[in-house]
Chains A and B, each alone.
Chain A
Amino acid sequence: AQSVTQLDSQVPVFEEAPVELRCNYSSSVSVYLFWYVQYPNQGLQLLLKYLSGSTLVESINGFEAEFNKSQTSFHLRKPSVHISDTAEYFCAVSRPGTASKLTFGTGTRLQVTL
């Protein structure tokens, strides 16, 4: 079975500052990795995903994440955050070749202030 650890439950940051949200996973087999974002009173939206190929994946709104197999990590980064990035961020994994069953981390609350 796989598991996901998001060590930071909250990350406060000032607007225009860089941010990194950490995600580590544990699995004995290869995995697919995802970052989802949940804005207040909304459902989840996919930010980006890693299935295979280039280890650096990017989203359309400036976020990027790098798959590091040796460190079993998939940290999310943004060089300059905006107030509108305030949300809950969930890292998730699933197993290739199986049914689409996402295992989520506990989430990181990104709080951006002026």
Chain B
Amino acid sequence: DTEVTQTPKHLVMGMTNKKSLKCEQHMGHRAMYWYKQKAKKPPELMFVYSYEKLSINESVPSRFSPECPNSSLLNLHLHALQPEDSALYLCASSQEGSAGYEQYFGPGTRLTVT
């Protein structure tokens, strides 16, 4: 099983809502990632978890709050988002968190903030 799953596929939320994005992998990977991808742009790294600990936060605003409950799950909690946060949010995982390991991407959650 080389699949990373993400739910929901689409999400529309208002600026005062609280919602969560979920990501799951069963490949035994020890590193998981959140990326943000705007239309016609490359993915931008947001967070990296390695062995369930946050190892990289790319200066992401606090309205995005990641959580890694266990080695298979990664959540992204959203609160008080802005319309400019509308994007495709991609989750990825890799065997280890060091450079050189292939990252496996999920299909993404397309988020629209109204």
Contact = CB atoms under 8 A, between A and B. Distances in A.
Q: Which 5 A/B pairs are nearest by Cβ-Cβ distance?
A: A43-B105, A104-B42, A94-B99, A44-B105, A46-B102
B55 interface: yes
Given A43-B90, A100-B31, A102-B45, A95 B105 contact: no
Given A99-B56, A102-B45, A106-B42, A46 B97 contact: no
B100 interface: yes
Contacts of A102: 43, 45, 103
A104 B37 CA distance: 11
**Overall SS of chain A's interface:** loop
Contact of B48 (A42, A97, A101, A106): A101
B43 to A, nearest CB: 6
Interface in B65-114: 90, 92, 94, 96-108
Nearest to B6: A43
Contacts of B99: 32, 94-101
B50 interface: yes
B90 A44 contact: yes
Interface in A91-114: 94-102, 104-107
A106 B43 CA distance: 9
Nearest to B45: A101
